[in-house]
């Protein structure tokens, strides 16, 4: 599959920065769906895959371009995988990283097991009705911390501790995050499929 210009089915500025850094060396021009006045797609499904596929098809249909979508979130073992696909709205509407983090720490307080993982699934469609979308995923294991550390990243990054690195995700440089992250893993798998 040879691609030059792809619409990113997201309005999340943090995701756009990460994807742009990972895709620009390939000569792929990534344009956020906001440049085309594409509304956010509904995400009614219980799985990351279904939500990502819906977002990719929605952006491709609205723009006529190939579209890349991700659905990602934090899955906490003691909470049965929650917040999962509801990570961005875990504390309710409107979306707020600060409220989501506070709510997660509160929900996890009675549990000794703080293990969690970030999960990402990517879907790339060549057109809205693509019968063979490319799909890739990645996981990044760590622990939820009560007290935030670091000022980088977005979402739950300041509360996501990486024992192997001895830092939170928010303490990593963008390059380190892209090297280790669930999104970086999924993108590398997607690159292999594109080849």
DSSP per position, 79-145: GTT-BGGGGGGTT-SSP-HHHHHHHHHHHHTT-S--EEEEEEEEEEESSTT-SS-EEEEEEEEEEE-
Is 113 annotated as catalytic?
A: no
Structure tokens at 172: 């990593």
- Residue among 132, 143, 108, 134 nearest 194 (CA): 134
Element (H, E) at 7: strand 5-8
Q: Name the catalytic one among 70, 71, 130, 157.
A: 71
- Residue among 14, 8, 9, 10 nearest 155 (CA): 14
Residue found under tokens 């590398």: 188
Structure tokens at 27: 């000569």
DSSP 8-class letter at 194: H
Active site amino acids: 71
């Amino acid at each position: 599959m040879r691609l030059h210009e792809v619409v990113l089915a997201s309005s999340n500025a943090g995701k756009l920065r990460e994807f742009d850094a990972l895709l620009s060396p390939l000569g792929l021009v990534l344009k956020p769906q906001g440049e085309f006045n594409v509304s956010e797609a509904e995400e009614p499904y219980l799985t990351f895959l279904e939500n990502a596929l819906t977002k990719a098809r929605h952006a491709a249909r609205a723009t006529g371009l190939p579209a890349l979508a991700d659905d990602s979130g934090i899955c906490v073992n003691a909470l049965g995988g929650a917040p999962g696909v509801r990570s961005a709205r875990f504390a309710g509407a409107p979306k707020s990283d600060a409220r989501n983090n506070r709510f997660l720490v509160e929900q996890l307080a009675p549990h000794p097991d703080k293990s969690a993982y970030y999960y990402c699934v990517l879907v790339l469609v060549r057109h809205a009705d693509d019968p063979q979308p490319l799909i890739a995923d990645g996981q990044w294991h760590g622990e939820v911390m009560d007290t935030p550390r670091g000022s980088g990243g977005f979402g739950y990054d300041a509360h996501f501790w990486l024992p192997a690195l001895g830092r939170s995700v928010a303490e990593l440089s963008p390059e380190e995050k892209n090297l280790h992250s669930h999104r970086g893993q999924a993108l590398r798998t997607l690159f292999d499929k594109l080849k």
